Amino acid sequence: MDARILARFTCVGVIALVSAAAFGQPKDPVKEAKDERLATSDRVRAVERAWQTDKTREARREDLKSILWIQRSAVVVRVRCLELLMDDPGDTDHADTRSMLRLMVPTEGDFAVLEALCRIIERERWPEFAGPLVRSYSRFVVSRPDDERPERRALAALAGARPVEELVYEVFSTPATGTGQQRDREDKARSAAWELLGRLDKSGAKRKALIEQAAAAPSDDPMLQNVRFAATELRAIPLTASQLTWVGQIRESAAKSPEWMTELRAALAACATEHLADLRLRHLEPIRWASLHQPDWLRADRPALLSQLHARLKGRTIYQRTQGDTTSEAVSERLSTYESRLTWADLLSMLVIDVAVRTPGLAETLWDHVERDLKDRTTELGGLISADGGGFKAVLYPPRGTARTGDRRFVASDDMLAAGALALAHYHFHAQSVDNADYAGPGPGDMEYADDQGRLCLVYTPVRRGVLNVDYYQAGGVRIDLGTITAATK
């Protein structure tokens, strides 16, 4: 294009822009309210102008809702939208606003906005918000203790004279009735309720009482059937959503292996009542195995089991973790540090684990797995330790390709979790090199896994060729070095 013609077009464009500004061409208040380059006060005024336009009331509501949905936007801008929507006399019983807020509450990421939402729910006491509040409350927030969360205050208002935990359990125990997305939201609320109760009712005692109160009422709901199965047949309450899934897998596996369930019932019947007071899902397989192969352990009291465990561990070489994602202070891996926190069933489980670790031939199988792990830089490898007659076997379950997040993290696949319903323990390797002693022992992520899954866990670390250091860990921060095992290598 000729330079003179281009210059003429440019001038015309500039003149048009200047003319528009001079004659006060109206700006779009919705766009201004969403414009992060503008001052917050200007954006608030834009929200108020958006509410005063000559659009229909429904259109103006949709404009404000589109602004309110933007989580990265300034709090005062979003809260002003919320105030205008709530003050709308045309929204009978706040029906449209309530519908939007039910979708917002579970995923709202700005705590100040969440505070505003919860204040409204606390004031209005809308019962349908129990599920959304539970979903939000189930998200762990480091900076806010559970008893200071706004969701708890709102739930307390909905619960009235009842404890909050009872209302949360009601969310869990109410079967989903919707379809499509509504059904999905209700199912998510139920899973979140159990996850939240894992924090509010750490021991499971309150849930056990609630389950027993309702045990006589018939139900064809799978979730309720699973928790009742856990309470009555397994004598142990799942503490997290992951453990609730595990109960369902145990139930399915036990139906296919009725002899396992028969042996477990007999083993539990042989235990002293006081020894089962703090029973967890992780204890079931050790108790069953011991009843068949070490029945004297079931009859032993806690001091006797502790004495046996000390005797077994005496003199073993311990490798202290010194590198990686550890705290500034060294974490003890000795039995004496944790013995006061270990229940009778914990001690029996550790004895069974120690037998499993030293099953003839197992070290060689594990070293073969280590060789594979040393060559694989995309993930840590791991799998299941399961009973095999009187001994034990290790089966590797490599993560799927999409779950491989690097050479310092193990991800348990769905296949592994489903296949391991009746397994003794989960294991993985810290095998970034043959001489990896500095990384021997579980890291913080491993301990979180034990808390969530509720499993007996082992981490194997090569300290030199053919020699593996073995660390046991479980929920509650317990981590104990079991010494080393040696494999015959080629």
Q: What is the mean pLDDT of residues 339-352?
A: 97
| C-alpha torsion sign, points 154, 157, 159, 164 | positive
**Does position 355 have pLDDT exceeding 50, yes or no?**
yes
Could you give the dihedral angle defined by the CA atoms of residues 450, 452, 454 and 455, in that order, rounded to the nearest 10 degrees?
A: -50
What is the percent of the chain with per-residue pLDDT over 90, rounded to a whole number?
78
Rounded distance between C-alpha atoms, residue 378 and residue 90, angstroms: 58
Q: What is the pLDDT of residue 379?
A: 83
- Per the prediction, the chain carries an average pLDDT of 91
Residue 404 confidence (pLDDT): 79
- For 47-68, what is the mean pLDDT? 97
Using CA atoms, how far apart are residues 375 and 429, in angstroms rounded to an integer? 13
Average pLDDT for 22-51: 88
Q: Please name the amino acid found at residue 52.
A: Q
Average pLDDT over residues 361-372: 95
Classified as helix, coil or strand, 194 is helix
Query: Would you state the pLDDT for residue 177?
Result: 86
What are the Cα distances from residue 219, in Å, to 173, 175, 277?
10, 9, 27
26-35 tens-digit pLDDT: 689 999 999 9
Q: Given this model, what pLDDT does residue 18 score?
A: 41
Give yes or no for residue 15 having a pLDDT over 50.
no
Based on its alpha-carbon atoms, the radius of gyration of the chain, rounded to whole angstroms, reads: 30
- Report d(CA 217, CA 225) in Å as an integer: 11
pLDDT digits (tens, 9 = 90+) for 169-189: 999 999 988 889 999 999 999
Helix (H, G, I), strand (E, B) or coil at 68: helix
Which phi and psi (to 5°) does residue 472 adopt? -100, 140
The more confidently predicted of residues 10 and 280 is: 280
Average confidence (pLDDT) over 392-412:
84
Distance CA 364, CA 369 (A): 9
Torsion-angle region of 98 (φ positive above 0: left; ψ -120 to 50: alpha; else: beta): alpha
CB contact at 8 A, 195 and 140: no
Above 60 in pLDDT, residue 286?
A: yes
Distance CA 291, CA 285 (A): 10
Residue 407 has a pLDDT of: 65
Compute the average pLDDT of residues 249-270: 96
> Can you tell me whether residue 128 is helix, strand or coil?
helix
For the chain, the residue count is 490
Most confident of 23-37, 91-105, 197-211, 425-439: 91-105
Q: Which residue has the higher pLDDT, 215 or 77?
A: 77
Q: Are residues 380 and 428 in contact, defined by beta-carbon separation less than 8 angstroms?
A: yes
